[in-house]
Chain A
């Protein structure tokens, strides 16, 4: 209320001030009046804030100046400090009585502040008391900056920049103050009820009356806006201890008000009972029980252990390897690192070191220091245990040698042909075929020039040569097996020629002739074929005597087969040989012919074409059994000749079989049949007939077609060779063991190169020496070579 009044008064006062000031400055008022008015004003404004106080103070100070100059200036020095105001005021309040006292004193002083004494001359002498400035006396403070203008109104200096002079006569400049601005602001007439707002309905400035402002203020201050409302009315006690004559409710007092509760009694009784029975114990502070070590194990965890399958594939952590010799505190001296090793160890990064410590010899146990990385190593082990992924790895602790195939030692493999020993030159054009005679002395060759030549094997000297056919090449030459006679079978064009080269000693030559001639009688004794038979295409041909020129040169029989013979193979005993005419125009029934030397008889055992794989290519007799192997383009068939049965079909998987050979020891003892097949599609296939009809090993070491394959005859050396169009021969070691359990082991041994490739053809045929590990090859370049 007080505050509000103050603020209400404020404007009025601020406006009044000037008038008052004017009055002050104008009139001389009694000090008392002034003081009273001042104090009144001060009281009024005690709760006031803001610039108006400054004004007031200013006025007050100027007023004071009038009263006491020094003091007034003092107060002038602190003009607009609102904070000091209270002090100021209290100061003034305190000063008031003091001033009064002063006034009193000054009046007193005028009377008694001197003594009258007689001086030396007897004159009166006014002796003034020493001025004893009181502590609170302002007079004592002789301020240098004090204004010395004396008791004149300051307004005299209004037009000057200074307000007076100090004790030294210097101008005291007017202190800077907001007075001018304030005066201007105050001079502006503010209409009553000015709010600064615009009334939206009228567009005129909104003016509020004093009551309305008061109401707003109350709302703002959370006061009750109603003027007459008393929030602290005395309460009316409706229900009191006093018996009313007319009570509000006349209902009788309920029973529960005065009867003790049964339910509560029940509950209490329950508790009492529990206490009596000792079920409820009085509270006891939990005493410090002795720390029972929870880590002491009290029972057997594995009392009922059961071996059960690990549910989640646990891999136990691998154990650390045991320490080696180098970790010893006193290792053998050779484990100690030398300077170089030590240096490299120190220079490598700790992460890259092979071992985390250097071996060191401490000599005796007392010199061993602590291992500085112990904690770190254990920590790393811990990390490994829970951070490292574990993988089960089968560790290879096998001897590497055991992985290598069990191979015969190189010494065991020897001998095998390694170098070209002899070159046989003489043929014009390709040498198509060659054969070494069973004694191993001579080599027979046949070539495109239609000649058959016989050479001395070791020297390369040509012993015998005859031209069998002017136009057609000699396709096959083969010696009759057996050393009792020397018979050479050669196929050129459509005919097969049997010759006895005049190179041997007469006895053997005689024997050979006898063998060849023995058959003429049989042929004569046989009924001559009827004309119809002879006309028939597949009638067996008659052996005929050769032309005289041929007979002179040593050819003794000719078998006209009417089709080009490409393959010829003798039976082991030398009485039979089989020829094959692979030409596509050849009727199937006459493609394969078996000739009996002793009877001069030719038979065609097959009436129909072999199934699957085109015309027959080549045929061989089994070395020991009466079985004939016939190869067509894709398969090899074995026929039992005595029972006239197909025994076996071998499918090498080659597209076009060029040649095949049967292992010489096949079916002897316990061993099974082994077969090698060469094909034009660059494959060499080893068949173990006991194993499967498919090849046991497929070797593809040639870049061109394989023309010929051959086992070493006689089984003395487990060698075989193949000849290929890439101009090379390859020699293999293929040993066949006697027992059924172990498979044949094949070892590549040597690549023999020397033949030139002429017209896409390289080596056309290969043959082995019957006793030595030598082989001969017929090249398309017109030479034959002996490799040994």
Chain B
């Protein structure tokens, strides 16, 4: 007979240790334990059975692995913490005695210096590991780099954060490894790919951060301490991999003048290596841009000044020819609007050349720092800005003829509303009257830059011209899913079958209910039929003849995007093919019978009645459809139940869980679709009124 096992001596009871026990075992205070855990990356564990692991009945106990704590026992940092504690005691004692100089001497000479190098090596045995974990580090460091200094956040920390983040940004600029960026409500998201690792971080907008009372800066400061060390090592490694000297040369004076990124100068490590020209102030003028601007200048001489649109168009043609040199092979597919996400990501070469031929001037109301960073990371070496925004610009002169693009973010004002510009009095930089346009350059809003880099190609700048309503800014990270809603695709392409008709029916039958329509769960499947749609189309254009060819034209002009998306397009459908394109296979039968009828009608030489669309006929059809749909739905449900009956209970539960989450998603998508439908309808209505 085996020994009788005592409770609490093996298994979970032994493997887990509560926080209090851990603190007592390590003989440190709780704040020190917290710091140690942050540094060492030790986090609580959830025991499989809490009851077995805990000896008390306290419900909210945090557990750690006993082995983790055991491993902390040998940590050199622990000794440092103890040193710190004893030093603090000494200082307190000498301060109590009034020996201030003693205290300061102790503090200065005897303060134990924490080095986290070994911790970083332990936590990230390989460089890739460190890169993988850089997301949170960058987000926090960028936040601290933008914080105002306070008692909790010493200016030294802020300066350090700024330095390491700028160094990191310089690496990204030098290697063109920034991939995507997104302007969100919270801040600006960036994504870079370094050695195959996608790193995403969030940078707040430049505002004073509101600090709520319940934020413990000591904890954040501990993280920042760790992350600065980590990012320092990462930067060293990244710079040395490029053959650059680390740390890069830092011009304090220029930094004080607000140069930010431009205050750093990267230097090669060996003598022969030419320093990479990150500094914006290379005076080498671009012959191409000169030529372009002079060319445009000559044109503009002929054109009246207020013809701004023409001008941008000219500019655009020039651009397109420019860009076509290396990019057109890539974007050869006929429909570039479709499936941009399916295309491979930009390579460094691509992203490095996106803005390369341009000289960009950032107006002073546009956010300089993110624009400068992005433009440089995407190949633009000549970025100028207003002198107000800080040092280090390629040019502070707004009238510089080399400028090809200007990023403005101000509303267009009528001429009269502008205050009379003060006459340029001996100013070294000639002032441009706000609101006027310098001929020969493209004016865009900042979103153009973001959308262009996310798209991987230059977008039409006239869509982003100052004062125009911008196209929606979309997140580049959302992958189109089967159930999800995709704002880029047309509404018809992603509607469930019959959804539109159902919604229309709802709104048509009782208009007063329209407000509540949003909330209504309109995911009831309705069989969509091609003829309703066709009838709709013909209703829109009353003058149109009931001719198949016409229908095709109409459909094509309306929904050429849709055509790409639909995979179930049947070739021999003729005129109705486009309309039926978005249908699912289930409806093919109905469509086919329709087609048959149509052919018969044609043979008989009669006009096909349903195209004419008798209203009562339609209504009848609809009601019959509703019935059909209900029956179909019931049947489907029954079928599902039957299938479920055959599954094991475990699998059934799993299935239900999955169906729940899928349903949530699809509900959300349906809601968005209904909103969009409403919006589109509203627009159409407005147009009709006009």
Given contacts A378-B140, A385-B223, A405-B647, 18 further A-B contacts (CB under 8 A): A301-B121, A301-B233, A305-B127, A314-B123, A316-B133, A317-B136, A325-B478, A328-B475, A331-B473, A334-B487, A334-B673, A335-B672, A370-B204, A375-B212, A376-B214, A381-B140, A389-B63, A748-B642
Pairs A–B under 8 Å by Cβ, sample size 18: A294-B113, A295-B160, A301-B117, A301-B120, A312-B67, A314-B41, A316-B133, A325-B478, A329-B183, A357-B186, A368-B205, A370-B205, A370-B206, A370-B207, A370-B209, A374-B143, A398-B658, A403-B658
Taking the closest CB of chain B, its distance from the CB of A333, in whole angstroms, is 5
Q: Which residues of A contact B235 (CB under 8 A)?
A: 297
A229 to B445, CA, bound (A): 110
Q: Which residues of B contact A302 (CB under 8 A)?
A: 121, 124, 126-127, 130, 233, 237
The 4 closest A-B pairs by CB, nearest first: A370-B207, A322-B477, A400-B658, A297-B232
A108 to B499, CA, bound (A): 138
Q: Which residues of A contact B367 (CB under 8 A)?
A: 365
Q: Which B residue sits closest to A404, measured CB to CB?
A: B643
Q: Scoring A residues 323 to 340 as 1 if CB is less than 8 Å from chain B, else 0, what string do you get?
A: 111011111111100101
A180 on the interface (CB 8 Å rule)?
no
Q: Which residues of B contact A748 (CB under 8 A)?
A: 642, 645-646
A360 to B185, CA, bound (A): 8
- Contact between chains at B445 and A365 (CB < 8 Å): yes
Q: Scoring B residues 185 to 203 as 1 if CB is less than 8 Å from chain A, else 0, what string do you get?
A: 1110101000000001000
B316 on the interface (CB 8 Å rule)?
no
B629 on the interface (CB 8 Å rule)?
no
- Contact between chains at A396 and B410 (CB < 8 Å): no
Q: Scoring B residues 204 to 223 as 1 if CB is less than 8 Å from chain A, else 0, what string do you get?
A: 11111111101110011001
A371 on the interface (CB 8 Å rule)?
yes
A472 to B484, CA, bound (A): 72
B681 on the interface (CB 8 Å rule)?
no
Q: Which residues of A contact B185 (CB under 8 A)?
A: 327-329, 357, 359-360, 362, 368, 371
A308 on the interface (CB 8 Å rule)?
yes
Residues of chain A whose beta carbon lies under 8 Å from any beta carbon of chain B = 294-302, 305-308, 310, 312, 314, 316-317, 319-320, 322-325, 327-335, 338, 340, 357, 359-360, 362-366, 368-379, 381-383, 385-391, 396, 398-400, 403-405, 407, 410, 747-748
Q: Which residues of B contact A362 (CB under 8 A)?
A: 185
- Contact between chains at A334 and B675 (CB < 8 Å): yes
- Contact between chains at A330 and B470 (CB < 8 Å): yes
B518 on the interface (CB 8 Å rule)?
yes
- Contact between chains at B43 and A386 (CB < 8 Å): yes
Q: Which B residue sits closest to A396, measured CB to CB?
A: B658
Known interface pairs A382-B223, A398-B658; A296-B139 also in contact (CB < 8 Å) = no
A748 to B45, CA, bound (A): 46
B474 on the interface (CB 8 Å rule)?
yes
B52 on the interface (CB 8 Å rule)?
no
Known interface pairs A322-B200, A378-B140; A365-B126 also in contact (CB < 8 Å) = no
- Contact between chains at A366 and B223 (CB < 8 Å): no
Taking the closest CB of chain A, its distance from the CB of B230, in whole angstroms, is 9
A492 to B573, CA, bound (A): 68
- Contact between chains at B210 and A372 (CB < 8 Å): yes
Pick the contact of A363: B127, B470, B646 (CB < 8 A).
Answer: B470
- Contact between chains at B651 and A403 (CB < 8 Å): yes
Q: Which residues of B contact A323 (CB under 8 A)?
A: 182, 184, 186, 189, 475, 477
B247 on the interface (CB 8 Å rule)?
yes
B623 on the interface (CB 8 Å rule)?
no
- Contact between chains at A328 and B472 (CB < 8 Å): yes
B587 on the interface (CB 8 Å rule)?
no
Q: Which residues of A contact B206 (CB under 8 A)?
A: 370
A319 to B235, CA, bound (A): 21
B639 on the interface (CB 8 Å rule)?
yes
A365 to B132, CA, bound (A): 31
Q: Which B residue sits closest to A381, measured CB to CB?
A: B136
Q: Scoring B residues 142 to 158 as 1 if CB is less than 8 Å from chain A, else 0, what string do you get?
A: 01000100000000000
Taking the closest CB of chain A, its distance from the CB of B193, in whole angstroms, is 14
Q: Which B residue sits closest to A356, measured CB to CB?
A: B186
Q: Which residues of B contact A371 (CB under 8 A)?
A: 185-187, 204-205
Q: Which A residue sits closest to B118, measured CB to CB?
A: A301
B37 on the interface (CB 8 Å rule)?
yes
- Contact between chains at A295 and B445 (CB < 8 Å): no
Q: Which residues of B contact A391 (CB under 8 A)?
A: 46
A383 to B218, CA, bound (A): 12
B254 on the interface (CB 8 Å rule)?
no
Taking the closest CB of chain A, its distance from the CB of B242, in whole angstroms, is 13
Taking the closest CB of chain A, its distance from the CB of B541, in whole angstroms, is 26
Q: Which A residue sits closest to B209, measured CB to CB?
A: A375
A376 to B208, CA, bound (A): 14
Q: Which residues of B contact A389 (CB under 8 A)?
A: 43-46, 62-63
Pick the contact of A340: B130, B208, B519 (CB < 8 A).
Answer: B519
Known interface pairs A302-B130, A334-B675; A322-B189 also in contact (CB < 8 Å) = yes
Taking the closest CB of chain A, its distance from the CB of B186, in whole angstroms, is 4
A428 to B524, CA, bound (A): 55
Taking the closest CB of chain B, its distance from the CB of A755, in whole angstroms, is 24
A340 to B675, CA, bound (A): 13
A376 to B147, CA, bound (A): 13
- Contact between chains at B223 and A322 (CB < 8 Å): no
- Contact between chains at A312 and B475 (CB < 8 Å): no
A733 to B365, CA, bound (A): 74
Q: Scoring B residues 102 to 126 as 1 if CB is less than 8 Å from chain A, else 0, what string do you get?
A: 0000000000010001001101111
- Contact between chains at B143 and A378 (CB < 8 Å): yes
A389 to B473, CA, bound (A): 36
Known interface pairs A297-B236, A330-B472, A371-B185; A378-B212 also in contact (CB < 8 Å) = no
Within 301-334 of B, Cβ neighbours of A (below 8 Å) are at none
Taking the closest CB of chain B, its distance from the CB of A700, in whole angstroms, is 13
- Contact between chains at B182 and A328 (CB < 8 Å): yes
- Contact between chains at B43 and A387 (CB < 8 Å): yes
A410 to B657, CA, bound (A): 25
- Contact between chains at B654 and A327 (CB < 8 Å): no
Q: Which A residue sits closest to B365, measured CB to CB?
A: A366
- Contact between chains at A400 and B662 (CB < 8 Å): yes
- Contact between chains at B236 and A299 (CB < 8 Å): yes
- Contact between chains at B37 and A332 (CB < 8 Å): no
B457 on the interface (CB 8 Å rule)?
no
- Contact between chains at A403 and B220 (CB < 8 Å): no
Taking the closest CB of chain B, its distance from the CB of A751, in whole angstroms, is 12
Q: Scoring B residues 644 to 658 as 1 if CB is less than 8 Å from chain A, else 0, what string do you get?
A: 111100010011011
Pick the contact of B219: A357, A365, A379 (CB < 8 A).
Answer: A379
- Contact between chains at A404 and B205 (CB < 8 Å): no
Q: Which residues of A contact B209 (CB under 8 A)?
A: 370, 374-375
B447 on the interface (CB 8 Å rule)?
yes
Q: Which B residue sits closest to A382, measured CB to CB?
A: B223
A322 to B189, CA, bound (A): 9
- Contact between chains at B659 and A400 (CB < 8 Å): yes
Q: Which residues of A contact B673 (CB under 8 A)?
A: 334
- Contact between chains at A370 and B210 (CB < 8 Å): yes
Q: Which residues of B contact A316 (CB under 8 A)?
A: 132-133
- Contact between chains at A375 and B473 (CB < 8 Å): no
Known interface pairs A371-B205, A375-B210, A379-B215; A319-B135 also in contact (CB < 8 Å) = yes
